[in-house]
Chain A
Amino acid sequence: MENEGTVGLDCNFELKEVQKLEGHTDRVWGLAWNPVTGLAGVPSVLASCSGDKTVRIWQQAAATGSWECKAVLDETHTRTVRSCAWSPSGKMLATASFDATTAIWENVGDDFECVATLEGHENEVKSVCWNSSGSLLATCGRDKSVWIWEVQPGHEFECVSVLQGHTQDVKMVLWHPSIDLLVSVSYDNTIKIWAEDGESDDWHCVQTLGDSFSGHSSTVWAVSFNSTGDKMVTCSDDLTLKIWDTSLDLTASGSDSSGLWRHLCTLSGYHDRTIFSVHWSRDGVIASGAGDDTIRLFKEIPSDVHLQVNGPSYNMICKKEKVHSMDVNSVQWHPKVPTILASASDDGYIKIWELKAIS
């Protein structure tokens, strides 16, 4: 069953620009907030990665609240750095590059040291992600495969599985927020769910969300889970966002991952160009960033359960045009302060935004 999102009935929020971060000398592809910062006196830390082959670490100064570049991680990757991800402890940063490697960096005081380099992909690595416990890492790339690595003591990483199944370039991988379930999205227009077979410790594809599931009709660029992990949102070159939910019982320990995902809702008619990034905040706000230089925010319409014949639907609560002078490649909500959003663009800049209710 499909629900078309209704257009702007509830647009009483605005995004106010807090600061523009300059420094990268080429397009900025990805962003990652350090998950253990931004609370209890610990200044917020943000990592960004770029076509200039470097990763920059930005920190908010406690005294002024203004953002500064704390470190530049260079002379390691020899090509575009496409994606970066902090470990759940916030102590390590993984960076995925077109040079076919994934580098692991450790934060030692004010410095970052490359402590490991993961090789194996045949060509460009496009995404890297740590699972919720920090025991596993997943990577994916243009070679159509998804790799799962086990994090071992002494900065050792062992590849435990190479997952084949996608028929084209894999754009992004993301671990579920609480269980060891992995999602991958691809140029082959599908979304795949991967889980470990409890008995044999073998990873395999438990579901493919394609045509038969009301899937996307072009490249799927990104995916994001809501905070409870019972819903996910994907964005695509087909100009839509799709919401999915699951019948999985996520509370049961040793959860059986065979619960299937189903299509809940398609949001179309909003963006005019490829939607490159989507991120679901702790407060339930979905942010999307696209090739039309726009950021849009959506929220689920609370509805009377009795009237919920077609399931929940979503309203656009804010539209901000020309947020950058070129494509928006990444949008990421702050992990602790749910009204703060960061965006990255082809224009080489990163912007920090604050969500405010229009009075």
Chain B
Amino acid sequence: MVSGLINANPVVYEKKERRVRSQPADKDEYAVEPIDQQEIFDHVRDIKDPEHPYSLEELKVVSEDAIELDDEHNYVRITFTPTVEHCSMATVIGLCLRVKLMRSLPSRYKVDIRVAPGTHATEAAVNKQLNDKERVAAALENPNLVEMVDECLAPTYE
């Protein structure tokens, strides 16, 4: 098959500098630490794009600002921007985001994933699929898809 990459020449951005989290001296080790935007971003920034050897951060598919968080109510919403409007990898990217957060956040968290409004041709359809947990569960029982997702998530575990 001739290389049919959706976006053969993506724009690659510089990675944002990583802030080192400082520990307060009188930290109570049993206190539940609130989760913040940066922590969520740290979980997802290194996810590899399914088609290119770059991270979602480098391709500006996700950014720290696109993460909405309400720690008190255990709610997160990530808005991601596919590199092209007709990106058929949008659902795979969305799935990667969901799986990474599922594995990284406490189970009490409710997560919504959506494409940035106006950035995808079938925005409503993609959003609906990504937020239907039954469809997500069934997709994650598909070994081929799981393999693809795990490959994209591999850099985030290093």
Contact = CB atoms under 8 A, between A and B. Distances in A.
Contact of A291 (B110, B135, B138, B141): B110
A79 interface: yes
A80 B128 contact: no
B133 A327 contact: yes
Contact of A325 (B107, B132, B135): B107
B25 interface: no
Interface string A67-104: 00000000000011010000000000000001000000
A126 interface: yes
A142 B132 CA distance: 12
Contact of A124 (B108, B110, B131, B138): B138
B103 to A, nearest CB: 15
A106 interface: no
Interface in A36-86: 51, 79-80, 82
Interface of A: 27, 51, 79-80, 82, 98, 123-124, 126, 142, 169, 171, 187, 218-219, 237, 273, 291-292, 325-327, 346-347
A347 B109 CA distance: 12
Given A187-B132, A219-B132, A327-B133, A80 B108 contact: no
B67 to A, nearest CB: 19
B110 A79 contact: no
B128 A142 contact: no
B137 interface: yes
B8 to A, nearest CB: 32
Q: Kindly list the 7 A-B residue pairs having the minimum CB-CB distance in the complex, ordered from nearest.
A: A124-B138, A79-B141, A98-B138, A326-B107, A98-B141, A325-B108, A273-B110
A219 B107 contact: no
Interface in B92-143: 107-108, 110, 128, 131-135, 137-138, 141
Contacts of B137: 27, 51, 80, 98
Nearest to B106: A325
Interface of B: 107-108, 110, 128, 131-135, 137-138, 141
Given A126-B134, A219-B128, A326 B108 contact: yes
Contact of A80 (B131, B132, B138): B138
A245 to B, nearest CB: 29
A218 B108 CA distance: 24
Contacts of B138: 80, 98, 123-124, 142
B135 A169 contact: yes
A124 B134 CA distance: 10
A171 B107 contact: no
Contacts of A171: 134
B91 to A, nearest CB: 15
A160 to B, nearest CB: 27
Contacts of A219: 128, 132
A142 B137 CA distance: 13
A327 B131 CA distance: 13
Nearest to B112: A273
A80 B135 CA distance: 12
Contacts of B128: 187, 218-219
A328 to B, nearest CB: 12
Nearest to B107: A326
A199 B141 CA distance: 43
Contacts of B110: 273, 291-292
B107 A347 contact: yes
B96 to A, nearest CB: 20
Nearest to A322: B108
A169 B132 CA distance: 11
A242 B12 CA distance: 48
